[in-house]
Structure 1
């Protein structure tokens, strides 16, 4: 994903289309991922007199652990970006234009999109993900389940049946003493 400016000048009349597959396995540990698929980078480079415009579309898959259950979850990568490489030196425009992360200086007469693609993959990674099963796991487990307020009231009423108001035979003498005092 590296092209020289002289090579790209041949495509001044029409855009130079590219399709590359890039591997960023070195990011798996630093981004706390389970896996990162190969990233497909499609796009085109448009050469103008003083700049090269790169329209990029990155696709792939992050495999991350669910924040609740630690089950592996596949998160699709679908990033579109437009990057502009200044051929005349970015510094001369830096006072006029605010610093823009989409403007790059064409260093050593080369356009390198791999570093930019890597940066986009890092930036677009979600902080955390949840699996579809995690909602169900929050409602019930081994010997327990979450109930709403209406269900709790119904259960409380069921426990107040006349059978539950019967006095324990061992404490019946105490009940008689209580009744005599009143």
Structure 2
């Protein structure tokens, strides 16, 4: 996904279309992914007098662990970006202005979209995903179970009733209770 400016000047009258498939396997571990599919990078390059405008469409699929259940979840990646390459030396912005992230220097005579596509794949990755089935996740296990607020209130009421009944004197200690009654 690298072209020379001389090569692109041949397409001055019409846009240069491109279709590439790229593997970014090195990003799987870096981004804590289970898998990253092949990335399809399509688009067109339009050559102007002092700049090249790249319209880029990136499609692929992240496979990420569900934040609740750790089940693999496929997350679609669908990005559009427009990048501008300055052919005369990146003098667009002064030192006081912020640099535009979509504006790149191409004074070396080359347009390289692979690094830009990789950066967009990194930026667009969601922080976390939740699978559709996560609501039906495990609700009980060995010695525990998930209960709702109503069930918790019922259990609390039962415990209060047990506390009240436990205040009754144990029949084995009935004789001792009689000693206190006499006083």
- TM-score scaled to structure 1, two decimals? 0.82
CA distance in 2, matches of 1:16, 1:112: 14
CA distance in 2, matches of 1:114, 1:148: 50
Match of 1:34 in 2: 34
Over residues 80-118 of structure 1, what are the superposed CA-to-partner deviations in whole Å (9 max), with x where a residue is unaligned? 11100001110x223175311111111431111011101
SS at match of 1:56: strand
Identify which range, 145-154 or 172-181, moves more after superposition: 172-181
| Residue correspondences, number | 178
Matching of residue 84 in structure 1 with residue 53 in structure 2: no
Match of 2:173 in 1: 174
Aligned-pair CA distance for 1:176: 5.4
Over residues 123-158 of structure 1, what are the superposed CA-to-partner deviations in whole Å (9 max), with x where a residue is unaligned? 2112222223333326x1225432222223334556
* Distance of aligned partners of 1:168 and 1:24 in 2 relative to their CA distance in 1, 3 Å threshold: same
Aligned-pair CA distance for 1:121: 0.9
Aligned-pair CA distance for 1:159: 6.8
Over residues 22-72 of structure 1, what are the superposed CA-to-partner deviations in whole Å (9 max), with x where a residue is unaligned? 111122122222111000011111111111110111110111222332221
CA distance in 2, matches of 1:11, 1:179: 109
CA distance in 1, matches of 2:178, 2:128: 62
* Distance of aligned partners of 1:157 and 1:30 in 2 relative to their CA distance in 1, 3 Å threshold: closer
The gaps in structure 1 that reach 5 residues or longer are none
Match of 1:117 in 2: 117
Match of 2:141 in 1: 142
RMSD: 2.8
* Distance of aligned partners of 1:127 and 1:175 in 2 relative to their CA distance in 1, 3 Å threshold: farther
SS at match of 1:78: strand
CA distance in 1, matches of 2:178, 2:17: 95
CA distance in 2, matches of 1:165, 1:80: 69
* Structure 1 residue ranges (4+ consecutive) displaced by more than 3 angstroms after TM superposition: 154-162, 164-169, 175-180
Q: Confirm or deny: 8 A CA contact 2:88 2:107 kept in the other structure.
A: no
Matching of residue 55 in structure 1 with residue 51 in structure 2: no
Match of 2:100 in 1: 100
The gaps in structure 2 that reach 5 residues or longer are none
Match of 1:71 in 2: 71
* Distance of aligned partners of 1:160 and 1:104 in 2 relative to their CA distance in 1, 3 Å threshold: closer
CA distance in 2, matches of 1:132, 1:93: 47
Q: Confirm or deny: 8 A CA contact 2:42 2:57 kept in the other structure.
A: yes
